[in-house]
Structure 1
Amino acid sequence: MSDLKSVSASPHVRAKFTSGNIMLMVFIALLPASLFGIYNFGLKALFIILASVITCVLTEYVYQYFMKKPITIGDYSAAVTGLLLALNLPSSVPIWMPVIGGVFAILVVKQVFGGLGQNFMNPALGARCFLLISFTGRMTNFTYDAISGATPLALLKSGETVNTWKMFLGSTQGTIGETSVIAIMLGAIFLLATGVIKITIPASYILSFLVFVGIFSGRGFDVNYLMGQLCGGGLMLGAWFMATDYVTSPITQKGRVVYGIILGVLTGLFRLFGGSAEGVSYAIIFSNLLVPLIERFTLPTAFGKEKKRA
């Protein structure tokens, strides 16, 4: 028997948090955006959030019960998926849409591939894109103060100016959880302070996006335009809460930087040259699919193995 030990690539140090602890803290970090969404859009937003979270938890329980698998709803991952899905929906959608989306997120994206830790894309964003493709009209109908209108990103795409201060506060059209940058950042600061996430992915994502937009938008590095692009849509919510998902993001520092840059470039491409004003969801999902390739080229050589010579 060989004495050669085969050790996997770093990192080897594990945090003291369990999966349940991490998911619970992410859920708590999403509460400021959730509460502001309810304040901003009314009780309809609360009903959508409850429908989405309950559907995701029940779907996971029922699937695991009938498949005779361990029940894992206590790790809060299904609840986080439901909350993220709800925050990515307009307040005008009917209640049956978050129900369909929740079933799709848990059953198709998560459980069919093995459950938590095995999904190849973010379940909430997978469900959002499924709903966006299936019910485009309802998913792009945004209201604020009971008035339907274009989102700030749509206004920017048409060449108009936007009030970035209102976008920062959140008093604009958009999905339930994406409008208030302040609320999102409160949750992000909590996650950074507790060590649940690192700043690498959000920072590389945001910086690469701003550079790409500044170069290719035709508006140059116009501060108001760049801030409008940064505060509008789901970029801040996606950068801090979905791009940083442990399962679907790289584990190495170099990989995270590359991942963030790809996210920024893809989001810029979709927003500037695509048919829609938004692009965060598709950028994150597409980048999720590239994670195995990114890790293949950024993983350090495992200890105890000789690096292949060219």
Structure 2
Amino acid sequence: MTKPEIEKSPDTVEQKSELLSLSSSPHIRHTESVPQIMMWVIIALLPSVIASYLFFGWHAIFLTCVGVSSAVATEWIITRLLKKPTTIGDLSAVITGILLAFNVPPTLPWWMVVIGSAFAIGVAKMTFGGLGGNFINPALAGRAMLMASYPAAMTSFSAPKLGAISGLDGVTGATPLAHFKASMADGSFQALDFQDALYNLFTGNVGGCIGETSAVALLIGALILWYKRIIGFGIPLSFIGTVFILFWLFNGTGELFTSGSLIIPTYQVLAGGLLLGAFFMATDMVTSPITPLGKVVFGIGCGVLTFLIRKFGGYPEGVSYSILLMNLVVPLIEKYTRPKIYGGVRK
């Protein structure tokens, strides 16, 4: 075959056209679809679902199912009313329902979970165009609405009952953060058995919201997401690390370099919704920064706000509000942490 014949070969022309074709970004795409990613998130949440049953019984599973079904139903109804394609197949509403249930007490009436899920999907998500258009985490928005509307019910917790089959035991118990805050106020925190408390916090045998009590279950789920490269550790480590460092520096004991000085920040990391928020909600792809430096800034901001609310606020927990507040400044974070274009000048 002569040289002119090679140049005129159809295969050669097709290869050149592919090399010279232009398209808009993104040029590099994830190998997994949105439903596949969401399915892995659901799988990562299953250890915490199991832990919620072990410590709070069937009622915790029931509330989780109510949260999922009402979230999915709300999204389906809205898409039908707007005559748009149904989007429940992407499974994002399922995750919103699970996370909302994870952020409420096991004693909460089921109809409040329905209201919270409907608000999370109908107001915080679908109002702004659905998945990818919302600027705040829907599950946390639903929790914040429930906290503002039903504060008594949202702060009424039951003591855990390992292996309970019939549901709740009806005993009201303070959460670890509420107990710690009260003991710090009256000066009795030094009498607390922190060694036993840390063990219970790690396993989950403490009072609290449905999905936040078991640190080991949440860490297993986080490792699954990290292994599948669904989340990185930029946001979680900066979030958790900031809370740890600030509570170490301002631990209230006046000591920094003793074994006891590390107990309080460790307690603060394991207690409440910090691990749940850091690994499963602050890392939300839609409402968190995409720049590497922005992720760290976002995590540090969440950590600082969580510390301020827990340390000086009237409410012992601050994870939900810190993430929601930082969601609002994500565009600003990305504006100032955007990498410089090769050959360009940073404005």
Shorter-chain-normalised TM-score: which range? over 0.9
Moved over 4 A (4+): 5-8
1:271-286 superposed matches below 5 A: 271-286=310-325
Root mean square deviation of aligned Cα: 1.7
Give the Cα separation in 1 of the matches to 2:327 and 2:247: 22
| 2:110 aligned residue (63, 88, 95) | 95
Give the match's secondary structure for 1:30. helix
Deviation digits for residues 258-284 of structure 1, max 9, x if unmatched?
111111111101100110110000000
Equivalent residues of 1:56, 1:82 under 8 A apart = yes
Which one-letter code corresponds to 2:262 in the other structure? V
Indicate yes or no: 2:172 matched with 1:148.
Answer: yes
SS at match of 2:124: helix
Give the secondary structure class of the aligned counterpart of 1:148.
coil
2-structure distance, mates of 1:184, 1:62: 32
1:111 corresponds to which residue? 126
User: Which of 68, 78, 92 is 1:77 aligned to?
Assistant: 92
Determine whether 1:164 maps to 2:198.
yes
Q: Does 1:214 align with 2:248?
A: yes
Tell me how far apart the structure 1 counterparts of residues 45 and 217 of structure 2 sit (CA, whole Å).
Answer: 8
Alpha-carbon spacing, 1:6–1:290, altered in 2? closer, same or farther (3 Å): farther
Question: Would you say the 8 A contact 1:7–1:302 is kept in 2?
Answer: no
The more displaced of 210-219 and 105-114 is 210-219
Match of 1:190 in 2: 224
Taking the aligned partners of 2:29 and 2:324, their CA distance within structure 1 comes to 26
TM-score, normalization by structure 2: 0.84
TM-score when normalising by structure 1: 0.93
Q: Distance in 1 between matches of 2:100 and 2:63?
A: 10
Shift of 1:218: 2.1
CA distance in 1 between counterparts of 2:303 and 2:62 reads 33
Aligned-pair distance for 1:19?
A: 1.2
Higher relative contact order (CA 8 A, sep 6+): 1
2:345 to 302, 307, 310: 307
Opposite residue 245 of structure 2, the aligned amino acid is V
- Give the structure 2 partner of residue 66 of structure 1: 81
The percentage of aligned residue pairs carrying the same residue is 46
What SS is found at the alignment partner of 2:125? helix
Could you say which residue in structure 1 is the equivalent of 2:333? 294
CA contact (8 A) 1:7 1:303 kept: no
**Match for residue 131 of structure 1?**
146
Residue 302 of structure 1 and its aligned partner are, at CA, apart by: 4.0
> Closer, same or farther in 2 for the Cα pair 1:114/1:302, shift >3 Å?
farther
Deviation at 1:308, TM superposition (A): 5.2
Structure 2 runs not aligned, ≥5 long:
1-21, 162-168
Q: Does residue 64 of structure 2 align to residue 49 of structure 1?
A: yes
Other-structure match for 1:234: 273
- Per mean C-alpha deviation after superposition, the further-off stretch among 166-175 and 221-230 is 221-230
Q: Give the Cα separation in 1 of the matches to 2:263 and 2:172.
A: 24
Match of 1:245 among 279, 284, 291: 284
Structure 1 unaligned segments of length 5 or more: list them. none
Deviation track 1:102-141 (CA, whole Å, cap 9, x = no partner) reads 1000000000001000101000000001001110000000
C-alpha separation in 1, matches of 2:131 and 2:346:
34
Cα separation, 2, equivalents of 1:154 and 1:263: 20
Deviation at 1:12, TM superposition (A): 5.5
- Secondary structure of 2:123's match? helix
Partners of 1:282 and 1:53 in 2: CA distance: 22
Match of 1:37 in 2: 52
The answer (yes or no) to whether the contact 1:243–1:249 under 8 Å persists in 2 is: yes
